[in-house]
Amino acid sequence: MLDAARTYLAKHCDDVQLHFTSAVAIAPGESAQILHRDRGIWGGYVPRQIEPLFSTIWALTPFTRENGATQVVIGSHRWKKQRQPVTDEVAYAEMSPGSVLCYNGTVLHGGGANTTADETRVGIFLHYTLNWLRQEENQYLSCPPEHAENLTRELRALIGYAKGGYVLGFYSDPDDDSAECESVSPENLFSQHSGDFDVLPSESQLVSQSTPDS
């Protein structure tokens, strides 16, 4: 799934980062969530031609229309912002445990109403975004260095303990009197690391990489 996220978002970034994690339970009697687009968390400042999200919902229990299966308006990522769906344009992501719903940040969606008497719908949300955007969940507080040190380097990079460009996301150690850890990758908190952005490119490479194709 991570490969799918990287492929889908590759046009607008060098890599992806973990954006949001959550376990959501919809209990009996819960009303439907308002239909929304997740890209709205950035306040509308990300241009519409840039898709910022690859989102997944993993079913831990059966998802049915009756117990709150996610409402999805298929094709709404191509709609104008003001357009609202009519009833028959709203689909329901009914799926069995272990299945996954994938959608982008421009699709109208929302949790469904649970009209059952005794079924709780449970799903795991794992969303990915462009590595140069601020994440919805502050990963550095959710997983501070003393916890991140127990993760693999790849997983640390995924939650943000890595540079997103040659000078994007560096840190300087405030307790390093030798100044050896100035403007380095966050991975240096855990190991001496030479990553994709730790060796400066040539001037021509920098220009070409920072200039849009169109």
**Residues 147, 113 share a domain:** no
213: pLDDT strictly greater than 70: no
**Residues 57, 7 share a domain:** yes
55: amino acid identity, one letter: S
> pTM higher than 0.85 for the full model?
yes
Which of 130, 148, 179 marks a domain boundary?
Answer: 130
**Residues 125, 97 share a domain:** yes
**Residues 88, 151 share a domain:** no
Phi, psi angles (nearest 5°) of residue 76:
-70, -15
- What is the percent of the chain where pLDDT is above 70? 90
**Residues 160, 125 share a domain:** no
**Residues 115, 143 share a domain:** no
Say how many domains are in the chain.
2
**Residues 159, 125 share a domain:** no
- Answer for the pair 123, 98: CB distance below 8 angstroms, yes or no: no
Domain that holds residue 108: 2-130
**Residues 82, 177 share a domain:** no
E strands along 50-177, which residues?
53-59, 71-72, 91-92, 100-104, 109-110, 121-130
Angle, CA 176 vertex, CA 175 and CA 181 arms, to 5°:
125
Nearest to 90 by CA among 46, 33, 157: 33
- Answer for the pair 171, 184: CB distance below 8 angstroms, yes or no: yes
Rounded Cα–Cα distance for residues 56 and 109 (Å): 12
For 82-102, the pLDDT digits (tens) are 999 999 999 999 999 999 999
With bands split at pLDDT 50, 70 and 90, how would you rate the model's confidence at 198?
low
Mean predicted confidence (pLDDT) in 178-203? 71
**Residues 94, 27 share a domain:** yes
Which of 106, 130, 154 marks a domain boundary?
Answer: 130
**Residues 200, 99 share a domain:** no
214: pLDDT strictly greater than 60: no
Specify which of 16-20, 159-163, 197-201 reaches the highest per-range mean pLDDT: 16-20
What is the predicted pLDDT for the residue at 171? Answer: 83
Which of 109, 130, 151 marks a domain boundary?
Answer: 130
Looking at residue 69, which CATH number applies to its domain? 2.60.120.620
**Residues 152, 124 share a domain:** no
For 47-82, the pLDDT digits (tens) are 999 999 999 999 999 999 999 999 999 999 999 999
**Residues 197, 167 share a domain:** yes
For 118-160, the pLDDT digits (tens) are 999 999 999 999 999 999 999 999 999 999 999 999 999 999 9
Sequence-distant (6+) residues with CB within 8 A of 60 are 23, 97, 122, 123, 124
With bands split at pLDDT 50, 70 and 90, how would you rate the model's confidence at 196?
low
